[in-house]
């Protein structure tokens, strides 16, 4: 069924609102974004103590939900020690000790975005500690795959690593920042994959729609990655427009940008939105 001109709901699965102004919440609201999810990540500088992470997690779980609510957007967070700061094992141990207190907060969906940055041994160790933590507390997992030349190697390292936990359910894990060469590997292993759109570098909106057409939209999320670098929440809506311009039915578009996030994120009972069917 093709429903021309439908106003569809949109969920932004990955955006770092701490790096964005309130004007971006307003823009997203005007483009019918009803929920956004903020994985814990780098702050633009390396934090110098565990307390700085505690303060950041407090920001993600107290301040951002209130700021988003002014624009009728539900704000959700993922909590973890991010891979860019995961090379210091002593600091990692201190941070991991208080992560469970934040996993219990009402807007936290799981452990993320954990993963690899430069594919180092310590990064992999901290990744595995946090997988263990997620399983212990029955949490969803959001994974950051490294950018550019490290992406394929890092994705393979994490897929291999996750085989250590035979009880881990792949449908409860999403690998973000996937591209043409990693998307099939991730989904063939039963995991969700997400593609991140950037306005200048890496995945563009047309490239993401090409992938959707080539590989299909099952178990696929699309996100805009607003962060500290060149990025724009509207790139998500550029991809929506690109799909419609190419003649995809509105039903198909909403299945990707609303139903799919509801299916993955809705595995956490705190997530309030349900797929249309």
List contacts with Zn ion (CB under 5 A).
Answer: 41
Report helix, strand or coil for 126.
Answer: helix
Which of the 8 DSSP states describes residue 257?
I
| Minimum distance, C-beta of residue 224 to Zn ion, in the bound complex (Å) | 10
* CA–CA distance, 230 with 60 (Å, rounded to integer): 22
| Minimum distance, C-beta of residue 227 to Zn ion, in the bound complex (Å) | 6
Task: Classify each residue of 147-166 as buried b or exposed e, where b means 16 or more C-beta atoms within 10 Å of its C-beta.
Answer: eeeebeebbebbbeebeeee
Number of alpha carbons in the 13 Å side-chain half-sphere of residue 259: 13
Chain position whose Cβ is nearest to Zn ion? 41
Asked if 154 contacts 146 with a C-beta cutoff of 8 angstroms, the reply is yes
Which C-beta is closer to Zn ion: that of 225 or that of 255?
225
Burial of 249 (0-12, 13-18, 19+ CB in 10 A): middle
Which C-beta is closer to Zn ion: that of 179 or that of 254?
179
| Minimum distance, C-beta of residue 249 to Zn ion, in the bound complex (Å) | 30
Whether the bond between 197 and the residue before it is cis, its omega within 30 degrees of 0, is no
Which C-beta is closer to Zn ion: that of 64 or that of 250?
64
| Minimum distance, C-beta of residue 86 to Zn ion, in the bound complex (Å) | 14
Which C-beta is closer to Zn ion: that of 41 or that of 56?
41
* CA–CA distance, 234 with 28 (Å, rounded to integer): 7
Which C-beta is closer to Zn ion: that of 77 or that of 159?
77
| Minimum distance, C-beta of residue 40 to Zn ion, in the bound complex (Å) | 9
Which C-beta is closer to Zn ion: that of 217 or that of 226?
226
Asked if 74 contacts 106 with a C-beta cutoff of 8 angstroms, the reply is no
| Minimum distance, C-beta of residue 194 to Zn ion, in the bound complex (Å) | 10
């Amino acid at each position: 069924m093709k429903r021309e001109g439908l106003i569809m709901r949109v969920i932004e699965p990955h955006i770092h609102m701490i790096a964005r102004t309130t004007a971006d919440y307003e823009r997203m609201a005007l483009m019918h974004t009803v929920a956004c999810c903020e994985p814990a990540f780098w702050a633009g500088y390396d934090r110098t103590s565990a307390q700085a992470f505690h303060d950041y997690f407090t920001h993600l779980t107290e301040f951002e939900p209130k700021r988003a609510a002014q624009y009728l957007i539900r704000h959700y967070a993922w909590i973890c020690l991010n891979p860019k700061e995961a090379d210091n094992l002593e600091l990692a141990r201190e941070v991991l000790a208080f992560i469970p207190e934040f996993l219990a907060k009402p807007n936290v969906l799981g452990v993320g975005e954990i993963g690899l940055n430069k594919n180092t041994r310590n990064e992999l160790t901290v990744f595995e500690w946090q997988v263990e933590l997620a399983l212990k507390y029955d949490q969803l997992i959001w994974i950051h795959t490294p950018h550019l030349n490290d992406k394929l190697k890092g994705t393979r390292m994490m897929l291999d690593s996750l085989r250590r936990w035979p009880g881990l359910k792949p449908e409860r894990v999403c690998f973000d920042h996937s591209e043409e060469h990693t998307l099939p590997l991730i989904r063939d292993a039963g995991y969700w994959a997400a593609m991140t759109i950037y306005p200048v570098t890496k995945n563009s909106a047309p490239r993401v729609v090409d992938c959707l057409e080539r590989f299909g939209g099952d178990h696929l999320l699309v996100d805009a990655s607003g962060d500290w670098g060149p990025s724009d929440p509207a790139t998500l809506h550029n991809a929506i427009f690109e799909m419609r311009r190419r003649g995809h039915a509105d039903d198909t578009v909403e299945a990707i940008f609303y139903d799919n996030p509801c299916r993955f994120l809705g595995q956490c009972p705190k997530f309030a939105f349900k797929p249309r069917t």
